[in-house]
Chain A
Amino acid sequence: MLLNIKNLHVAINGKEIIRGLNLGVNKGEIHAIMGPNGTGKSTLAAAITGRDGYEVTAGEIWYKDRNIVGMSAEERANEGIFLSFQYPVEIPGVSMTNFMRTAINAQREHRGLASIPAGEFLKMMEEKKKLVEIHDKLTNRSVNEGFSGGEKKKNEIFQMAMLEPTLAILDETDSGLDIDALKVVAKGVNQLKTDDNAFIVITHYQRLLDLIVPDFVHVLFDGRIIKSGGKNLALELEEKGYEWIKQEHLV
């Protein structure tokens, strides 16, 4: 199993948000995580990617047969975990090109490889830009600075394409996207999907899952996964809302 989360408890400032979560993800799978606001979806993403301030108070996160709790965010990234941010951060003064080259070289160093030759890097940039239909002018600008909401999300997928993660977590990548941008993002994800990687897609809406078809759908409520199913579960949720699952859970 690529990712195996066992009885995970996560607290922020002493307040427990994730309360006994179990989740297993194999290579080649797409998992969707759905659920009402404030149930811990983004907290789960932060805990898997190693954000400071998200304290794992109990449980384990096994990734590639190692418990990664306690591992730094950068080491997890270099081991192939990627987070597409719900709110990508603007970093004035750091150009996209140099940001990506630094990241790629950090990853290569982690794997004992030499820095990427300039020509190879530029070729790679060109290739991946096409994938997400990203404009040249965006990669010449500072990271996310002055990007529209759609451009920022495309930029996340572009970075994902550059870093070729084994496990990618998409945190509400569809929020704030119009249908055209959504299609571009979905196309990018579908092209990047292989038998050797896996995706966790956090979303509120079925419409993204029409385009990125999940193998499993999980409903997160009150810090736990309270129901899992196939892609039809998402359709059912779209139709009936979350109330019936909550009721079922409470009973």
Chain B
Amino acid sequence: MQQGLPLDEMLLGTFERSKGLIAANDTPKVSRLRDAAMEIFRECRFPDSAHEKWRNTPIESLTEEDFVQQLSPSQADKNLEEMFRCEVHNFDTEIVSMLNGWYYDKKSDLRTLPDGVVVGSIGAAMKAYPELFETYYGEIAPYALNGFTAINTAMAQDGVFILVPDGVKANKTIQIIKMIDLEENLFVQNRNLIILGRNSELSLMHCDDSINQHCSLVNTVSEFVVGENAQLKLYKLQNLNDQSGLVNSTFIRQEANSNVKTNTLTFNCGLIRNCVQVMLNGPGAHADVLGLYLMDKQQHVDNQIRIDHNAPNCTSNELFKGILDDQASAVFNGYIHVARNAQKTNAYQNNNNILLKPTARINTKPFLEIYADDVKCSHGATVGQLDQEAMFYIRSRGISEANARLLLMYAFASDIISNISIEALRQRIDDMVKKRLRGELSVCEKCVLHCGSPEKEYHFDIDYSKL
């Protein structure tokens, strides 16, 4: 680590000096990609708000901070077992822990679960499955997309590898808990590769949390290969402190008749940039790309969603909803690209926002680019306040103004929550949303699921289970 230099210079220097250490586990392809991506990064550096695609996201507020980077895992001085313990009632997950960007498992860094699913660190997986890395690594995430994907491809050392073999239906939801806890400003890069074979099924939670109050910048790139007729459910829960930044880029490639549902739930963070790119490459594939963001104070969230309809008879459904309070701001860029041969495409895109204060801001831009002639595409965006007619109607029944606001905000968020098909998780997220809307959660103490300390239930005196 080296302090005092700008982040990009520090990274360039570290790469020169420590490439051997960084690339210790690499397959030849991964190593080649590092060099190629570093050349790109040397040219383009980190984006800033002068770039069109970053215009409304002040990312330089983070990239200009001083950070340290860890080239090897630090010694854990805390009881990590306790820290990552997860006790959600009726929800038994297979936990994968990452501390400060490093895969953490006392027993092994690559394990095969009883149902045949392989889970481990990306470094260990490179050694065990070099052929999979030669085939897939870097094929789904374009490293030249921007400085963040480039520097991740060049320098990421750890992350999660999951392989769901053909025909295997993962018994348990796999839960990646990524926690940041360091008494210094930390720059973390993770790289995940998740492969679903034909006819396989996986539910995955990806929780980003911080338990410190220091600034961190997490730059994650995840590649998903979803085989023919496979089903993936991906829940991303984002809950970091107000000083921190998260650049989360998710690239998903879908083969024929596969079905993907992603749900990005943004509860807290100083600045978040989510990029979700779905490539519908096989006929009959379907993707639901959903998201909910609840931001306040000076927080900022930017969702960049791109769906590529590259094959005929595919369907996609994009819905992002947000509630912004105080001086919070958000960006939504939805982009649907329909290739010439992607006939019978059915694509829907929508972004709805509620601004609770005049100081909150949203920049929303739905965009369609269509080259096929037999398609059904629609898009829309709304920005509004809480409906005053509805407010009076609710209050005229004796419900307090505060509860009336909660009811309306919750109602607004409910169609994203109701899409969560795992019952125990839905109830948990439901509680978190209610808690967040009450303004009681600014930084989650441990992981968002409150490992180790079951939190009390939250009520507005309403049983929402029947909504």
Q: Which residues of A contact B (CB under 8 A)?
A: 49-52, 72-74, 77-78, 82-83, 85, 88-89, 91-95, 97-99, 101-103, 105-107, 110, 115, 118, 140, 142, 159, 163
Contacts and interface: CB of A to CB of B under 8 A. Distances in A.
A49 B396 contact: yes
A91 B461 contact: no
A140 B461 contact: no
B129 interface: no
Contacts of A107: 398
Interface string B451-467: 00000000011111011
A92 B411 CA distance: 7
B280 to A, nearest CB: 30
Contacts of B400: 74, 106
B398 A93 contact: no
A98 B462 contact: yes
Contact of A102 (B390, B393, B462): B462
B461 A94 contact: no
Contacts of B466: 95, 97-98, 140
17 contacts: A50-B396, A72-B395, A73-B395, A74-B396, A77-B398, A83-B396, A88-B393, A91-B408, A91-B411, A92-B411, A93-B410, A94-B407, A94-B410, A106-B403, A142-B411, A163-B397, A163-B398
A77 B462 contact: no
B443 to A, nearest CB: 28
Interface string B432-456: 0000000000000000000000000
A46 to B, nearest CB: 9
A110 B398 contact: yes
B399 interface: yes
Interface of B: 387-390, 392-401, 403-404, 407-408, 410-412, 414-415, 460-464, 466-467
Contacts of A77: 395-398
Nearest to A92: B411
Contact of B467 (A52, A98, A101, A102): A98
A95 B396 contact: no
Chain B CB count within 10 A is highest, among A52, A102, A140, for A102
Contact of B392 (A51, A98, A115): A51
Contact of B395 (A74, A88, A142): A74
B142 to A, nearest CB: 38
Query: 9 nearest interchain CB pairs?
Result: A93-B411, A77-B398, A103-B397, A89-B393, A73-B395, A106-B398, A78-B398, A93-B414, A98-B462
Contacts, number: 90
Contacts of A94: 407-408, 410-411, 467
B399 A103 contact: yes
Contacts of A97: 463, 466
Contacts of B408: 91, 94
Contacts of B411: 91-94, 142
B433 to A, nearest CB: 12
A74 B393 contact: no
Given A77-B395, A98-B463, A102-B460, 15 more contacts: A51-B392, A52-B392, A72-B401, A73-B396, A74-B400, A89-B387, A91-B407, A93-B410, A94-B410, A95-B466, A101-B463, A102-B399, A106-B400, A107-B398, A118-B463
A110 B397 CA distance: 12
B457 to A, nearest CB: 14
Contacts of B407: 91, 94, 99, 102
A19 to B, nearest CB: 23
Contacts of A118: 463
A95 B467 contact: yes
Nearest to B400: A74
A51 B392 CA distance: 7
A186 to B, nearest CB: 22
B403 A93 contact: no
Chain A CB count within 10 A is highest, among B392, B398, B403, for B398
Contact of B397 (A93, A99, A115, A142): A99
A89 B398 contact: no
Nearest to A96: B466
Nearest to A91: B390
Contacts of A142: 411
A176 B340 CA distance: 51
Chain B CB count within 10 A is highest, among A73, A83, A142, A159, for A73
A106 B396 CA distance: 11
A146 to B, nearest CB: 15
A42 B400 CA distance: 23
A185 to B, nearest CB: 18
A89 B395 CA distance: 12
Contacts of A91: 390, 393-394, 407-408, 411
A159 B397 contact: yes
Contacts of B414: 93
B395 to A, nearest CB: 4
A10 B388 CA distance: 20
A103 B390 CA distance: 14
A91 B398 CA distance: 16
A110 B403 CA distance: 14
A61 to B, nearest CB: 15
A98 B412 CA distance: 15
A74 B398 contact: yes
A207 to B, nearest CB: 26
Contacts of A50: 396
